[in-house]
Amino acid sequence: MKIAMVGSGYVGLVSGACFADFGHDVVCIDKDSSKVERLRDGIMPIYEPGLASLVENNARAGRLSFTTDLAEGIKDAGAIFIAVGTPSRRGDGHADLSFVYAVAKEIGESLANDAVVVTKSTVPVGTGDEVERILSESPAIMQRGLKASVVSNPEFLREGAAIGDFKRPDRIVIGAEDEFGREVMREVYRPLFLNESPILFTGRRTSELIKYAANAFLATKITFINEIADLCEKVGANVQDVARGIGMDNRIGAKFLHAGPGYGGSCFPKDTLALLKTAEDFESPVRIVEAVVKANDSRKRAMGRKVVDALGGHDAARGKRVAMLGLTFKPNTDDMRDSPAIAVAQTLSDAGVEIAAYDPEGMEIAAPLMPDVAMKDNPYAAIEGADAIVIVTEWDAFRALDFNRVKQLAKAPVLVDLRNIYNPEDLRQAGFHYTGVGRD
């Protein structure tokens, strides 16, 4: 089947390349012409493990191409995916749907054959209804009498593990209102159907809500263990053992129970806010998510204060230097959107602390977001002359630092490990003043 993917960012590019790898004929469309040019030259606009070779192989096999021309790209496509951004709207936290609706309008103007239009972007309940309305008033339907069914198919991939997640998903959710939509989606996902990946067919509004409920639940799980970590510090308990102890219960599960600096990234912060906006609009409060958003916001700054404390408190911290290791919101991505590193750096700057940082993939994007931070070429260059080192992102490159070298380079052997990647005892024996999260 020919598939068109409108929006070639993290989700659109990975999904498009994976669909091509399944044997479909895929055109990825993006309005950003420099992105399309780079993709045509085999240069990836984002860092995602395994993506470059997947794109190259499928482009070479003639199954994957790139264009800025939507009319050309959607020609003869049986399924047209919308995978553009849905960032938080300034002020009210509602998802900004202007990109989604602009694409729907453009599809309605240029569509020349029957097709299923699929929202893969994360969109609030009712967005599919609005896309359907836009299409129903478009030349494609009003003048050309074409059939266009609107389907919701939210994406659950994680950056850093996106290809594996897309090819071996825990589940595929398809919200369709008619048989044409369901039939085309079965064809799109046939390779995964044969793989026995679970596929849940449901109504469109239900499917839209599943995505928000899933992300809000995961954000809640992270926030829960973070608050338990704070309690552990007060009562002298160990949060990692608490997480193991509760995670062995199958009803709870061990994942997403790692205490840290708070959730960030391109999804959880904006999706929790958008869910709250929907809840407000429909006068059906989701109080637990309200509490999660508040707790997570204050946590990021609290992590900055933890570093200030490790420097000896507010007065002592002024004029000192901190080495930040890791800037991206998680490892194996270059995504800096809502990364806790931004709030930690801001809190440190406000306290008069100078910052040098190193991140394996995120520095180019981070530099303009953190103008006061000196970006360095490697972890040791950041550590040189530092009064404290803070691990913000658990990149593998930081798991086995040469601590003899670190001690020689740093001004003081102070380590704040916001991801609990080190064994406190090992570090103390190596002569470090060590602070983790939720444990001694």
Name which of 11 and 427 has its Cβ closer to ligand NAD: 11
Distance CA 28, CA 35 (A): 11
Helix (H, G, I), strand (E, B) or coil at 45: coil
Distance CA 417, CA 260 (A): 9
What residues line the site for ligand NAD (CB under 6 A)? 6-12, 29-32, 35, 83-86, 99, 102-103, 121-122, 155, 157, 159, 266-267
Classify residue 315 as exposed, middle or buried by CB count within 10 Å of its CB (0-12, 13-18, 19+).
Answer: exposed
Least Å distance, CB 83 to ligand NAD, is 5
- 3-state secondary structure string, the chain? CEEEEECCCHHHHHHHHHHHHCCCEEEEECCCHHHHHHHHCCCCCCCCCCHHHHHHHHHHCCCEEEECCHHHHHCCCCEEEECCCCCECCCCCCECCHHHHHHHHHHHHHCCCCEEEEECCCCCCCHHHHHHHHHHCCHHHHCCCCCEEEEECCCCCCCCCHHHHHHCCCCEEEECCCHHHHHHHHHHCHHHHHCCCCEEEECHHHHHHHHHHHHHHHHHHHHHHHHHHHHHHHHCCCHHHHHHHHHCCCCCCCCCCCCCCCCCCCCHHHHHHHHHHHHHHCCCCCHHHHHHHHHHHHHHHHHHHHHHHHCCCHHHHCCCEEEEECCCCCCCCCCCCCCHHHHHHHHHHHCCCEEEEECCCCHHHHHHHCCCEEECCCHHHHHCCCCEEEECCCCHHHCCCCHHHHHHHCCCCEEEECCCCCCHHHHHHCCCEEECCCCC
Distance CA 429, CA 417 (A): 16
Least Å distance, CB 229 to ligand NAD, is 25
Known catalytic residue at 18: no
Which amino acid does the sequence have at 344? V
Least Å distance, CB 94 to ligand NAD, is 13
Least Å distance, CB 98 to ligand NAD, is 9
Name which of 99 and 180 has its Cβ closer to ligand NAD: 99
Name which of 84 and 336 has its Cβ closer to ligand NAD: 84
| Per annotation, catalytic residue among 18, 28, 232, 267 | 267
Name which of 59 and 365 has its Cβ closer to ligand NAD: 365
Least Å distance, CB 96 to ligand NAD, is 10
Least Å distance, CB 418 to ligand NAD, is 21
Q: What are phi and psi of 355, to 5 degrees?
A: -130, 135
Name which of 121 and 347 has its Cβ closer to ligand NAD: 121
Least Å distance, CB 416 to ligand NAD, is 27
Distance CA 219, CA 414 (A): 30
- Name the residue with tokens 């659109």: 12
Least Å distance, CB 87 to ligand NAD, is 8
* Position closest to ligand NAD via CB: 9
Name which of 12 and 264 has its Cβ closer to ligand NAD: 12
Least Å distance, CB 294 to ligand NAD, is 22
Distance CA 31, CA 51 (A): 21
Indicate which residues carry an active-site annotation. 267
